[in-house]
Amino acid sequence: MGEIKCVGILTSGGDAPGMNAAIRAITRAAIYNNLSVKGIYRGYRGLITDEIQEFKTENVSNIIQRGGTILKTARCKEFTTPEGRAIAYENMKKEGIDALVIIGGDGSLTGARIFAQEYDVPCIGLPGTIDNDLYGTDTTIGYDTALNTILDAIDKIRDTATSHERLFFVEVMGRDAGFLALNGAIASGSEAAIIPEFSTEVDQLEEFIKNGFRKSKNSSIVLVAESPITGGAMHFAERVKKEYPQYDVRVSILGHLQRGGSPTAHDRIIASRMGAASIDALMEGQRNVMIGINHDEIVYVPFTKAIKNDKPIKPELVNVLRELSI
């Protein structure tokens, strides 16, 4: 493709607080650099169904504080097919869009990588996911807000757990990544976190009962990542009822509560920085990269690295939780 004159923005996959801040930043940075902007509604599906609207500065006024995404989001099976992507490309050309900025998680960036390869479209990705599971960036858009939502919920759960002297398993999102569970446990003073990264190495429940759960404590809270690898909170609650029937066990599944809410200052700032950086990247001729933040500096991470590499959990965080939960 030739010179970039028009940028298309879409949000894809699960929504995350801060996506609107990113949309605002991309739009205004593009207009500042004399580019036109088009908002694509409902993710990749909107590219196929031609739900595309020109965006001006006023389209993104008064949205930085709002959770969710004004562009809406949707899963799109059609885009996973060559036929679907062909229709999407034709609509892009018809609308005069020269480049795409995609805000989403690994599935969204995978779609962008394939589309960019097939049609030579410059694509820039922004890591928009509460799971914080994308390689190459210290944090993702929405993660900090979700963590604070979890913290608020656990503070309330602890009040009732203490009153009734119960063991609570609280299930949090994260899929195959334990960042929300582990850091949520540290921040809330929980007794343990059961995360997929260590499920194959040790029996995390047995270790918790043996080391972390003391009769001197009148309540205990354990965070469990929702991953199929761990089996989720219900799995561990059932195990406790069978193996340790002396404990009064309850389960709380936070679910989609974690995705909503007004973004924190941190999420608004990184979304704004990443959004502006996506336009800088396009102006520099970058393509097929995700914008990340590493040691508070903007970095460009190739899609292949961001998607294929697993983001590691820091072992020292596990040790901190273990030491502080005695």
**Residues noted as catalytic:** 131
Q: Where are the beta strands (DSSP E) in the chain?
A: 6-11, 36-40, 52-55, 99-104, 123-127, 167-172, 192-194, 220-225, 249-253, 289-294, 297-302
- In sequence order, the 6+-apart residues with CB closer than 8 A to the CB of 215 are none
3-state secondary structure of 23: helix
Q: Which two tokens stand for residue 67?
A: 């959770």
Give the whole-angstrom CA distance, residue 190 versus residue 165: 14
Structure-derived torsion over alpha carbons of residues 40, 45, 51, 53, reported in degrees to the nearest 10: 0
Matching residue, tokens 């193996």: 243
Q: Which two tokens stand for residue 279?
A: 């336009």
Q: Under the phi-then-psi rule, with left for phi > 0, alpha for psi from -120 to 50, and beta for the rest, what region is 292?
A: beta
3-state secondary structure of 128: strand
3-state secondary structure of 141: strand
Give the whole-angstrom CA distance, residue 268 versus residue 16: 11
β-pair partners for 249: 167
β-pair partners for 11: 103
